[in-house]
Amino acid sequence: MSAGSNGGEPPPRKNAELSEAISHLAGIMAKLRDPETGCPWDVAQDFSTIAPYTIEEAYEVADAIERDDIAALKDELGDLQLQIVFHARMAEESGEFDLTDVVRGISDKMVRRHPHVFGDSETPGWEEIKAAERASDGKASALDGVANALPALLRAEKLQKRAARTGFDWPDNAGPRAKIIEELEEVDRASNAAQQIEEVGDLLFAVVNLARHLGVDAEMALREANRKFERRIRTMEDSAGDNFANLDLDAMEDLWQAAKKRGN
């Protein structure tokens, strides 16, 4: 299908409704950011102060998906969309770009990176195209483009994947597993706080490497472990009542094992 084809596109009425809805949201943000009549909180924000909210909303989207809560997903996607509009509005005020530029930019990128859909000839895959784009932007390292603001586990995985494409990788699971044991020993030998921070970091990086080799998403795995821990602690609290904090460690361990047997 060529780039000019209408195949798969929504009907004109839907396009008009979408355009109107996005324009309405952009107008609301413009009013909120008005220096004289807008909301003082919104007016006072800048890219750096809004960035944490943007990251938080992305996680809220992921949480709704994990809970299979479609109603919540709709709401959270709206909250995330607001973040995009917020950043675009601030950029427009400074004369850098606007929401239209953002939408056109990502549209052009998606067409460019999917020539097998929008083009007529065989072309390199997604990763090869991205690598070529990075090279054309003057980015020479295989690690260029991995955002610093990513969650640490996710960034570690992406860095490792990029390095692996150059051939710098363990041939099987044995290497990452042995590295974890090595890093644990180095944690034990750490003699001060600075060394402990460094060695624990190396240990976590090694764990992510093993997860990658096993085909496990380390970030999602840790999120699931967090949820499991939370469920068990709450079950323990429900079992012990107000006396939970006064129990000794052995009693708490008994409650933990009981919660574990209950499937929490």
Distance of alpha carbon 17 from alpha carbon 25, whole angstroms: 12
Q: What is the CATH number of domain 152-216?
A: 1.10.287.1080
Q: Where are the alpha helices (DSSP H) in 94-217?
A: 99-113, 115-118, 126-136, 152-165, 174-189, 193-214
| Domain spanning 12-136: CATH superfamily | MazG-like (1.10.287.1080)
Sign, CA torsion 41/43/44/45: positive
- Could you give phi then psi for residue 103, rounded to 5 degrees? -65, -45
User: How would you write the pLDDT of the chain (264 residues) with one tens digit per residue?
Assistant: 444 445 566 677 788 899 999 999 999 999 999 999 999 999 999 999 999 899 889 989 988 998 899 999 999 999 999 999 999 999 999 999 999 999 999 999 898 888 888 876 666 666 666 666 666 666 678 888 788 878 899 899 999 999 998 899 999 999 999 999 999 999 999 999 999 999 999 999 999 999 999 999 998 899 899 999 999 999 999 999 888 999 999 999 999 999 999 876
Instruction: Tell me if 99 sits within 8 A of 88, measured CB to CB.
Output: yes
